[in-house]
A and B are shown apart, each in its own frame.
Chain A
Amino acid sequence: MIEITNNGKYALTLRNPVMIASGMMGFDPHLYRNLIKLEKLGAVITAGITYKPRKPANGPRVVPVTGGMLLHTGLPNSGINRVLAQYQNIWARSPIPVIPHIVANQPNDVARIAERLEGLPNVVAIELGLHDQAQAEDIQALIHAARQGSQLPLLVKLPLFNAIHLAEVAAEFGADALVIAGPPRGTERDPISGKLVGGRLYGTYLKAQTLRVVGFLAGYLQTPIIACGGIHSSTDARDYLEAGARAVQIDTLVWVNPAEVEVIARHIGGEELTRAIGALPDEWHPGLGKTQLMQRKKPASSQSTVPPPNLPELPLDRDDPTMPSPSQD
């Protein structure tokens, strides 16, 4: 088990330091049950929850940018009451712990939402998402409100633009861990409608910026840091851990290449094993069926159930823990 927060009254420990960032699996981790072995992950953070319902944004919601995307959904959700009515039992059955994400607007709302989340089965912490314009006094009020409503460990997600200025304040007022960082805001022209669209930016390029902030903050803060932004490989995740993060959250990689999420969780979670002698490429990369496809390319007469010994292999830095290692033979 990995200690995500410091020991104490509000301690959070998870099986794996790799989590799914807010909203990447919506409100229901089971949406990905056929694409990712959920039990290999540490936890999943839900999409943002508000006290009252919010409608989806009008107009274009997705704009491609170089190496990433801009997303403008309006944080639609049906409000805490309906969200719980719809998903509470789903969260309880989730194979991994669930961390609801509260959209931090009004302290009163935050306190009421936090209160409703207290004591729910399989809900192990709360993530409080601060908006870009949050000031020190706002943070104090919002963290205080969350603490009033719930005794669950409190993760505070800071906006990337202000993370360096706000981190110390959030830590001082009682955040159990800081999530660095929320996706930055951007504006881009939608090529289809021709309109300028503002929204949250995601993509590979975020890692360099976020890694800098994580490294800076980890150098002097005692509060644990969870890194989030642009992770698209095990190397990206390791870079964050090396910079001082205690855990990582994966964002849009979940959408664009879900199989890689499982690989990262396997590597960072310490489940990497030696590849078994004779393991086929698709046993090494579970679920992709490379061997069968290569067989299909051969003439029908040469097809057999046993792959040829000189079958080209995929890179050797992966493992399927379901395969026995040589030492187990």
Chain B
Amino acid sequence: MIRESIAIIERVRRIGAGWQQVSIAVEETALANIQPGQSLLVRTHNSWEPYLRSIWVPIDADPAQNLIEIERPDSETYLPDVDIHLLGPVGIPFSLQKSTKNLLLIAQDFPPTRLRFLLNVALRSQRAVTVVLTGEAKKYPVAAFPTETEIIYSDDTQTWPSQKETLLWADQVFVVAPIPFYELYFSQLQQVALEIRHALPENYLNAVYDLPMPCGTGACMACMVSSRQYTCLDGPAFDLAKMRF
């Protein structure tokens, strides 16, 4: 259930070109139990510029220490011991099936930040994880990934070597793509998956939406993905077996 609270920035460190990791201490243990897929709406300042809260995506959490790890672009400046205002958790956790042994995470032309928490959780539960990076995502500093991660880079297009084999290997797939091309990328991947699977199993191919969320409660209707579904309430992951483009 979404709540408003204060957190403290405890540590800031650079994790590679363009990215930094921010550790925040949260007040409530319930918030520290945030799950992969959920995010926070954050205000770091007391002015009205920028007006909207930033979407902060956790890449890991330690409920025992009430700590959440966040990844942010290093163009932003954060200082330890500073209070920040949070709204969250926003969204519902990714549905990682118990039966999933092989997990495929695809960052299509978009940083894989939204998938990193899931990557960590999957590896901790002894699953095999492959990450595919295409387009802009190839600039991401992969040294930040755990060493057990297999990484595949795309060629100059949005496909990658052995695309069909990796999709067949995977028990579940999660894919992120950038605004404004996400529907194009998601529908292309849906088509490829349909060619090899004929019918998409439930929860197999999951599109992770990264849309602006002014309110995080479903009130503003800015993050609707269909007439009845909101990224902030029902997402961010949506089963591509049920999506029409």
- Give chain A's interface residues, CB within 8 Å of chain B: 23-26, 31-32, 34-35, 47, 53, 55-56, 59-62, 64-69, 71, 73, 76, 78, 192-193, 195, 203-204, 232, 252, 254-259, 287-290, 292-293, 296-297
Contacts and interface: CB of A to CB of B under 8 A. Distances in A.
A67 B220 contact: no
Contacts of B241: none
Contacts of A296: 8, 25, 27
A76 B211 CA distance: 17
Contact of A255 (B81, B178, B220, B227): B220
Given A56-B227, A254-B215, A256-B43, A292 B27 contact: yes
A293 B27 contact: yes
17 contacts: A23-B221, A24-B219, A26-B221, A34-B2, A34-B3, A64-B52, A71-B222, A73-B221, A73-B222, A76-B224, A192-B179, A193-B179, A193-B180, A203-B51, A257-B43, A288-B6, A293-B8
Given A232-B48, A288-B5, A297-B8, 16 more contacts: A23-B219, A25-B219, A35-B87, A53-B227, A62-B52, A64-B51, A64-B52, A67-B51, A73-B221, A78-B228, A192-B179, A255-B216, A255-B217, A256-B48, A289-B6, A289-B28
B49 interface: yes
Interface in B1-58: 1-8, 25, 27-28, 43, 48-53
Interface of B: 1-8, 25, 27-28, 43, 48-53, 81, 83, 85, 87, 178-180, 211-212, 214-224, 226-228
B200 to A, nearest CB: 24
Contacts of A31: 217-219
B4 A288 contact: yes
Contacts, number: 124
B interface: dominant SS: loop
A317 to B, nearest CB: 15
A32 B219 contact: yes
B52 A256 contact: yes
Contacts of A73: 220-222, 224
B4 A258 contact: yes
Contact of A34 (B1, B25, B224): B1
Nearest to A288: B6
Given A78-B227, A257-B43, A258-B4, A69 B48 contact: no
B50 A35 contact: no
A297 B219 CA distance: 35
Contacts of B49: 66-67
Contacts of B4: 35, 258-259, 287-288
A252 B52 CA distance: 10
Contact of A26 (B179, B212, B218, B228): B218
Nearest to B227: A55
A96 to B, nearest CB: 15
A48 B178 CA distance: 30
Q: Give 6 closest A-B pairs by Cβ, nearest first.
A: A255-B215, A26-B219, A193-B180, A62-B212, A56-B224, A31-B217
B214 to A, nearest CB: 5
Find the residue from B51, B53, B211 having the highest chain A CB count within 10 A: B51
Given A59-B180, A61-B212, A192-B180, A254 B219 contact: yes
Nearest to A296: B25
Given A34-B3, A78-B227, A193-B180, A204 B222 contact: no
A93 to B, nearest CB: 18
Contacts of B3: 34-35
Nearest to A61: B222
Nearest to A292: B27
Nearest to B220: A255
B51 A256 contact: yes
B50 A289 contact: no
A38 to B, nearest CB: 13
B233 to A, nearest CB: 9
B109 to A, nearest CB: 13
Contacts of A297: 8, 81
Contacts of A67: 48-49, 51
A235 to B, nearest CB: 14
B220 A60 contact: no
A65 B49 CA distance: 9
Contacts of A34: 1-3
Nearest to B215: A255
A71 B214 contact: yes
Contact of B48 (A203, A288, A290): A203
Contact of B51 (A60, A68, A290): A68
Contacts of A35: 2-4, 87, 217
